[in-house]
Amino acid sequence: MLEKIKDVKDLKDLNLVEKNELAQDIRKYIIEVVSKNGGHLASNLGTVELTIALESVFDVNKDKIIWDVGHQTYTHKILNGRKSGFKSIRKLNGISGFPKTKESPTDCFETGHSSTSISVASGMARARDIAKEDYSVISVIGDGALTGGMALEALDDVGYNKLKMTVILNDNQMSISKSVGGLNMMLSRLRTRKLYTKSNNSVKRIILRVPVVGQKAVRLVQKVKRSIKQLIIPKMFFEELGYTYLGPVDGHNIKELENIFTLSKKIEMPVLIHVITKKGRGYSFAEENPDKFHAIGKFNIETGEELANKSITYSEVMGDTLVKLAKSNKKIVAITASMKDGTGLTEFAKKYPDRFFDVGIAEQHAIGMAAGMAKMKLIPVVPIYSSFCQRAFDQIVHDIALTKLHVIICIDRAGITGNDGETHQGLLDMSYLRLIPNICIMAPKNLEELKDMLRFAVTCKGPVVIRYPKGGEEKIFNLESKKHIELGKAEILKLGKDVSILAIGKMVERAMYVAKKLKEKSIEADVINVRFLKPIDEKTIYTSIKKSKLIVTIEDGTIINGLSSAVKEIMIKNNLDKIRLLSFAYPDEFIKQGSIEELEKLYGMDKESIIQKIEKEISKK
């Protein structure tokens, strides 16, 4: 069936049996490709029928469908011009794993971070109304994404203002781990309420019996439907907010989905369609372990085993160290915004359930709550992915830094992260965090130093940030720490008269390698592990750079306002700005997808490119 489909328009010619067959073909194709390229498998297997039904009823070339997070759009991509391109998903220069407007006009908005779709859809619906145009606007949002503040803010606004648009709630009871929160509890009640299901069917029967001709009839349908439901289930949450609630509907039943979508088109007010799906549907390993298969690397289809050789990661080391520290220090608590496993907190959650808090996909709330806990003398540790921390910027400024509260923010997935592309690269954190007064920012050169930094962070007084990369360390050398961590002190790893190499975080190892290779060509270099981006060790850096012919900075972040900028400030302040400076950092642009190694090479951040550039610079007169 998949072979027959050239374009989404071909769906119109398929009967129900053929559509179900198509769904199975698409599933098989997704499993095959993701087993080779990695990707968000479980979420995509859960939305195959939903996408087929949605794109059968709505016109993707005219109507606007905004996929929240956008990690579940593989079926949409396959149906919309990227059937063969799908094989290159997540690869360098390949199809993105998220909606991309440049790939297709049917990807009508770019997503990657959670909980944005209702806001964006509401903007489009308002633009449509101002222009007096006629098309449908739909947000497809998961029960996990619905826990995000932005989604709730939008839900509130849209309902109150009676905007004509549809929210499709894809409820699989899972975020990455099990969904949490009061909304989720409310959804479970809706899901399981026998009474409601019964009333829902009778409502549907009544609606189907009423001849739907013109606005008047539609209003009548709404009135009948609302009055019946209100009688049976008073004060339904979504209805109270201003939505016509339709559902729950089986998200794997194409016919039922099409019926309910068709019905929703006729309603001139906000509609919320509650769709029940199974994450990982149709692939037993993913159905049984939807969290493991939420985002997976290459795997064996027959056994469900991941193929990558697992080396210990920074996230795991952070988690293990925190478990140890929390044993003797009862004030330590850990907070996650829906990323327990990814950030290495699985063991902490098991060992100290009373001191572990999963707040849902709610980074702003996580940081705000940490501030409250710190004020009451707890020591909150909040591991959070660099790119997702962006949305908690003001909470760090206003709730933590302003009053110098002792919160430890562990910025995980800092730096280049690879195949998820632009929305997931962690390149901005050093830049935006360095702006904030009162904050201490450090980055470990290896796993051992991460342990030391975390121990040190617990003893600090004010806000502390520790940033570390995706995966594990490079480990070319056995880089033991020469000195214990001391606030604002860099570590001198090697001395040499010609070049001063200043590196931070995972780039320190690379700096040592570069220095070794330069020595073979009789170029002697200092290597300084900067350790603290803020407060920066001005004295050590000044001593090193003032005697050098060339200064080199290497950082896994954007060129703007990171290490390179900090060193430039020291140079200017000390009248050393005549010395040449070579900065290795990512340019001021959104960095596309590819493996970490490919991207590092592409942007001249790999060892060989760094060596070549330094040699070239030195050879200049």
Ligand X SMILES: Cc1ncc(C[n+]2csc(CCOP(=O)(O)OP(=O)(O)O)c2C)c(N)n1
Which CB sits closer to ligand X, 46 or 496?
Answer: 46
279 is catalytic: yes
User: Does 69 sit near ligand X (CB under 6 A)?
Assistant: yes
Question: Which of 27, 64, 71, 506 lies at the binding interface for ligand X (CB under 6 A)?
Answer: 71
Least spacing, CB of residue 75 vs ligand X, in Å: 13
Of the listed pieces 48-56, 92-100, 143-151, 518-526, which binds ligand X according to CB under 6 A? 143-151
From 49, 55, 258, 363, active-site residue: 363
User: Does 113 sit near ligand X (CB under 6 A)?
Assistant: yes
User: Does 66 sit near ligand X (CB under 6 A)?
Assistant: no
Least spacing, CB of residue 105 vs ligand X, in Å: 24
Which CB sits closer to ligand X, 180 or 490?
Answer: 180
User: Does 142 sit near ligand X (CB under 6 A)?
Assistant: yes
Least spacing, CB of residue 46 vs ligand X, in Å: 6
Question: Which of 75, 96, 114, 544 lies at the binding interface for ligand X (CB under 6 A)?
Answer: 114
Least spacing, CB of residue 128 vs ligand X, in Å: 25
Which of the residues 208 through 237 are near ligand X (CB under 6 A)?
none
Of the listed pieces 69-77, 180-188, 233-241, 537-545, which binds ligand X according to CB under 6 A? 69-77
Q: Which string of x and - marks every residue 153-192 that binds ligand X (by CB under 6 A)?
A: -----------------x-x-xxx----------------
Which CB sits closer to ligand X, 128 or 340?
Answer: 340
Which of the residues 18 through 47 are near ligand X (CB under 6 A)?
43, 46
3-state SS record for 111-134: CCCCCCHHHHHHHHHHHHHHCCCC
Which backbone phi and psi does 333 adopt, to 5 degrees? -125, 155
Nearest residue to 141 via CA among 170, 164, 111: 170
Q: What CA–CA distance (Å, rounded) separates 320 from 306?
A: 22
Nearest residue to 68 via CA among 126, 125, 109, 124: 109
Rounded to 5°, the CA angle 585-591-594 comes to 110
Which CB sits closer to ligand X, 143 or 449?
Answer: 143
Query: Are the beta carbons of 334 and 410 closer than 8 angstroms?
Result: no
Question: Which of 155, 361, 370, 427 lies at the binding interface for ligand X (CB under 6 A)?
Answer: 361
Rounded to 5°, the CA angle 485-513-561 comes to 60
Q: What CA–CA distance (Å, rounded) separates 110 from 108?
A: 7
DSSP letter string, 78-91: HHTT-TTGGGGTTS
The pairing of beta strand 499-503 with beta strand 525-529: parallel
Burial per residue of 33-53, b for 16 or more beta-carbon CB atoms within 10 angstroms, e otherwise: bbbebbbbbbbbbbbbbbbbb
Which CB sits closer to ligand X, 27 or 71?
Answer: 71
Nearest residue to 22 via CA among 43, 6, 40: 6
Which CB sits closer to ligand X, 348 or 584?
Answer: 348
Q: What CA–CA distance (Å, rounded) separates 389 from 410?
A: 10
Least spacing, CB of residue 10 vs ligand X, in Å: 26
Encoded amino acid at 40, one letter: H
Query: Are the beta carbons of 143 and 171 closer than 8 angstroms?
Result: yes
Of the listed pieces 68-76, 99-107, 229-237, 495-503, which binds ligand X according to CB under 6 A? 68-76
Query: Are the beta carbons of 553 and 610 closer than 8 angstroms?
Result: no
From 279, 281, 434, 470, active-site residue: 279
User: Does 338 sit near ligand X (CB under 6 A)?
Assistant: yes
User: Does 279 sit near ligand X (CB under 6 A)?
Assistant: yes
Which whole-number Å values give the CA distances from 5 to 12, 45, 241, 347, 432, in the listed order?
10, 19, 40, 47, 46
Question: Which of 143, 291, 429, 474 lies at the binding interface for ligand X (CB under 6 A)?
Answer: 143
Which CB sits closer to ligand X, 142 or 562?
Answer: 142
Helices (H), 131-283: 149-160, 182-192, 194-209, 214-232, 237-241, 254-265
Q: What CA–CA distance (Å, rounded) separates 448 from 293?
A: 30
Which CB sits closer to ligand X, 38 or 142?
Answer: 142
355 is catalytic: no
Q: What CA–CA distance (Å, rounded) separates 109 from 137?
A: 12
Question: Which of 72, 117, 313, 544 lies at the binding interface for ligand X (CB under 6 A)?
Answer: 72
Least spacing, CB of residue 272 vs ligand X, in Å: 15
391 is catalytic: yes
Encoded amino acid at 477, one letter: F
From 100, 281, 340, 391, active-site residue: 391
DSSP letter string, 440-452: EEE--SSHHHHHH
- Return the SS3 of 475: coil
Least spacing, CB of residue 111 vs ligand X, in Å: 8
Which of the residues 362 through 381 are near ligand X (CB under 6 A)?
363
Which CB sits closer to ligand X, 391 or 445?
Answer: 391
Helices (H), 357-502: 363-375, 386-389, 393-394, 429-434, 447-459
Tokens (6 digits) for 281: 């549907």
Of the listed pieces 14-22, 64-72, 212-220, 400-408, which binds ligand X according to CB under 6 A? 64-72
Least spacing, CB of residue 440 vs ligand X, in Å: 24
User: Does 145 sit near ligand X (CB under 6 A)?
Assistant: yes
Which of the residues 378 through 397 are near ligand X (CB under 6 A)?
388, 391
Would you please indicate which residues are annotated as catalytic (active-site) residues? Answer: 279, 363, 391
Residues that bind ligand X (CB under 6 A): 43, 46, 69, 71-72, 113-114, 142-145, 170, 172, 174-176, 279, 338, 361, 363, 388, 391
